[in-house]
Amino acid sequence: MLYDPWPARRERPVRRYRTMVEFKANPRDEAYMRALFAERYPDGRLGGLEDVPEAERVVLLYPDATGLGWRPLEQALMRRAAPSAELRVLNGRRRDFVLDRGARTRLGLRRALETALVGEAAATVVFLVLAPVLLAWDLLRGRQ
């Protein structure tokens, strides 16, 4: 199942923030994802939610590492897929894994951290705390 959530996300308010999150996620393009799917699942075919009920295996093609923007589609998939269907993810980083409850929980946490920009916020705080200390240290040692 191929889906690109980024165009819809670009139209939302706070466009610069969404652009930054997209840039950081570094999603692969559709041609790359199609080629990757054909390489890993040569007998597979691309389809939509309407094809899910009769599928034995459903592979979600995340263009980025964590599938940002895929949560609504995952929920719809869980409702429509047969209980015996194998649910898998193939992401733009070439990682292939089973989409079970644990994987969904871990992905949710990683998505929250990625969209909240926790790493960037922590780096900013460290910079703001250390910069005056390092400046004072340099001035005390005679460097300018």
Per-residue pLDDT tens digits for 34-88: 999 999 999 999 988 888 888 899 999 999 999 988 998 999 988 898 889 999 9
pTM of the complete model beyond 0.85: no
Instruction: Evaluate whether 103 touches 89 at the Cβ level (below 8 Å).
Output: yes
Q: Over pLDDT 70: what percentage of the chain?
A: 93
Angle at 79 between CA 53 and CA 47, to 5 degrees: 40
Residue written as tokens 């644990």? 102
Give first-to-last CA distance, the chain, whole Å.
Answer: 58
Average pLDDT, the chain: 88
Structure tokens at 54: 């009769």
Instruction: Evaluate whether 1 touches 61 at the Cβ level (below 8 Å).
Output: yes
Per-residue pLDDT tens digits for 87-118: 999 999 999 999 999 999 999 999 998 888 88
